[in-house]
Amino acid sequence: MTRHLLKRSLILSGHGTSVALEPEFWAVLDELAQQQGQTIGKLVESIDGKRAPNRPLASALRVAALQASRSDAVSSLGQDTVTQSSPDL
């Protein structure tokens, strides 16, 4: 069942593509783009450019949203520094 997925059409490197994610992931990505002062398309293009060749775009976007959420959760606990590994998206 994919009824719970929200599909968005984007232009990445001049090519049209569609990505389907759960609304919760889109919400985190939208907030991250806003915090970084860029459009969702530019954010997705940035994530796309950093992902491993064997990782699907939707998966890379979910990982990026999870990392952003975890980073926000840790910083909200009042910790000054966080050491995070940076796996390939």
Write the pLDDT tens digit of every residue in 61-76: 999 999 998 887 666 6
Q: For position 80, what pLDDT does the model report? A: 45
Task: Say how far apart CA 57 and CA 53 lie, in whole Å.
Answer: 9
Mean pLDDT to the nearest integer, 26-37:
95
Q: Does the pLDDT of residue 2 top 50, yes or no?
A: no
Residue 84 covered by a domain: no
Domain total of the chain: 1
Query: For residue 10, what is the DSSP state?
Result: E
Q: What is the pTM of this model?
A: 0.79
What residue has token string 């009042």? 78
Residue 78 covered by a domain: no
| CATH code, domain carrying 10 | 1.10.3990.20
Q: Does the pLDDT of residue 81 top 60, yes or no?
A: no
Task: Say how far apart CA 64 and CA 77 lie, in whole Å.
Answer: 20
Spell out the residues 6+ positions from residue 5 whose beta carbon is closer than 8 angstroms to its own. Answer: 20, 21, 22
Q: Does the pLDDT of residue 77 top 70, yes or no?
A: no
Q: b/e map of 64-83 (b: 16 or more CB within 10 Å)?
A: bbebbbeeeeeeeeeeeeee
Range of the domain at 58: 6-70
- Residue 56: which pLDDT band, with cuts at 50, 70 and 90? very high
